[in-house]
Amino acid sequence: VQLQASGGGLVQSGGALRLSCVASALTLDVGWFRQAPGKKREGVACISSGDGPTYYADSVKGRFTISRGNEKNTVYLQMNALKAEDTAVYYCATMTDQYYSGPYVGLRPDYEYDVWGQGTQVTVSS
């Protein structure tokens, strides 16, 4: 499985962007993570397999929405009301069948994923 993340860019504070994560198939959980310069990678949102539940970091709740596309090989991250502190490289991740550890309640941590996209830069100007 290979992931392709896209949709990043430069936007003013209060603006919106939609990130896309595309693969040949995305049937298991998919997570979005971000890493700002000098900071640790953090989980932003994840969606469980199939039409399972979604989970969000407190810092993005009410502003970001993760969803699966009708094509079932795409996962989106709609980001609204962007803030300067949302500036980071955003990565999507999933796991292979062999790596899947089973259902997880809450934001699945990064070590639960073994397939990562290349990242897309999101810059929010204040």
pLDDT for residue 8:
98
Residue 75 pLDDT > 90: yes
Residue 89 pLDDT > 80: yes
Mean local confidence (pLDDT), 9-36: 95
Rounded Cα distance between 118 and 6, Å, is 9
Mean local confidence (pLDDT), 108-120: 96
